[in-house]
Amino acid sequence: MNRVARVSQLIRQVIATILLREIRSDKVTMVSILYVDISPDFHNATVYYSVIGTHEECNKTQRFLRKMAPFIKGKLGRMLSMRTVPNLRFRYKSYKDVGPHDG
């Protein structure tokens, strides 16, 4: 596993932990972090997530995650010893759209 893949996996795990333990909100109760795509320079990361719920709950979660991205980035920076903490972009992905190559 190359460095980008290892860092992507680590970021996925840490973000999932942050959502589970640090953020108390009904907007993230049924969120799964599927995988993270990180740029080779580690400046940007796209976090793919899925939500179990209605279309409205998905939209609510999307707005909430976008709003919380700076907070999550800050927590990520404190929990990981990385020279550069990537900017986070959250993208919804339906469970039915996730293939075996994802994650």
Q: What is the pTM of this model?
A: 0.86
Residue 70 CB neighbour total at 10 angstroms: 11
User: How confident is the model over 3-36, as pLDDT tens digits?
Assistant: 899 999 999 999 999 998 888 776 666 889 999 9
Q: Given CA atoms 89, 44, 18, 77 in this order, what sign does their dihedral have?
A: negative
Domains by residue range for the chain, with CATH: 3-95 (3.30.300.20)
User: How confident is the model over 75-102, as pLDDT tens digits?
Assistant: 999 999 888 899 999 999 986 665 554 5
**Read out DSSP for 3-38?**
HHHHHHHHHHHHHHHHHHHT---GGGTTEEEEEEEE
Angstrom distances, CA of residue 100 to CA of 19, 45, 47: 24, 20, 17
DSSP H or E segment with residue 39: none
